[in-house]
Amino acid sequence: MLFIGDIVGQPGRGAVKALLPALLRRHAVDFVVANGENSAGGSGITPKTADEIFSAGVDVITSGDHLWDQKEVMDLLANERRFLRPMNYSPGVPGRGSGLFELRSPRTKRGQIGVMNLQGRTYINPPLENPFVLALEEVKQLRQKTKIIFVDFHAEATSEKIAFGRMLDGQVSAVAGTHTHVQTADEQIFPGGTAYLTDVGFTGPHDSVLGRETEPVVRRFLTSMPQRFEVAGGGVRLQGALIEIDESTGKALNIQRISEAL
């Protein structure tokens, strides 16, 4: 499977559209998950940007702390089962945070994959329910139907991400981090067979500060005055991780970072 890091604005959507087909062929990818919480103008997601991402070949879209930045997200939460929000919101919040999806043709047809989306609580808002407790409960439910489970853990603190991955070692196929937009170099397979990467990076303009134009961000640090952070445009890359999983056991065989220039 392929997991694509946070898609930022039109440049990120363009990179997915342009680069994903070749990645699918080159690596014989069976399933694609992408974090799309920044896909609409660099902040939030709408049905239109989600449709663009799905049409490019993505099977499931996850999100994070920018979930509510676009009011149109309510339509996605109500009507699109392929769109996940962090599952550690309180009961009664629209949408869902996990699901079972078919590994489907034309790439393959090999049963089901469970996908989970959770948000950390350290240095990130809004504060949600405990993801550690809820993840353990949800994994038990999903494992009754499939051994192949992927988790997008949207969190700020490296220690929280590593602890979360270690906790789930041997119970899920992979845990990959999002949110910080900087691809880390710690891809590994834990002793129990779970692939792990602290952050998969982001898909969008890298001649920037985390996808935003550089000058306003620098001015904000210099002056502490409010600035408008527009999406940048240069150095567009698609970043993420390729994960090979043994279908019979659900354990990861390999994890490889990717960073493809447009």
Tokens 């038990």, residue?
140
- E runs forming strands in the chain: 2-4, 6-7, 32-35, 60-62, 98-102, 112-119, 149-154, 174-178, 188-189, 195-197, 202-205, 236-245, 252-261
Confirm whether 66 is a catalytic residue.
yes
Q: Report the C-alpha dihedral over residues 170, 118, 32, 76, rounded to 10 degrees.
A: 150
What are the two backbone dihedrals, phi and then psi, of residue 213, each rounded to the nearest 5 degrees? -55, 140
Q: Which helix (H) or strand (E) holds 261?
A: strand 252-261
Report the C-alpha gap between 135 and 170 in whole angstroms: 13
Residues of the chain under the 50 pLDDT cut? none
Q: Domain map of the chain by residue range?
A: 2-261
Is the CATH number of domain 2-261 3.90.550.10?
no
Q: What is the pLDDT of residues 144-200, one digit of tens each?
A: 999 999 999 999 999 999 999 999 999 999 999 999 999 999 999 999 999 999 999
Report the C-alpha gap between 84 and 89 in whole angstroms: 12
Among 66, 154, 181, 206, the one annotated catalytic: 66
Nearest-5° Cα angle at 195, 149 to 22: 85
- Predicted TM-score of the model (pTM): 0.96
- E runs forming strands in 120-251: 149-154, 174-178, 188-189, 195-197, 202-205, 236-245
Q: Sign of dihedral through CA atoms 79, 83, 85, 86?
A: positive
Q: What is the pLDDT of residue 107?
A: 54
Q: What is the pLDDT of residue 104?
A: 65
Helix (H, G, I), strand (E, B) or coil at 25: helix
Q: What does the block give as tokens for 42?
A: 């660099």
Report the C-alpha gap between 202 and 34 in whole angstroms: 10
Is 3:45 a contact under the CB 8 Å cutoff? no
Report the C-alpha gap between 251 and 241 in whole angstroms: 16
Identity (one letter) of the amino acid at 12? G
CA distances from 49 to 150, 232, 236 (A): 23, 18, 18
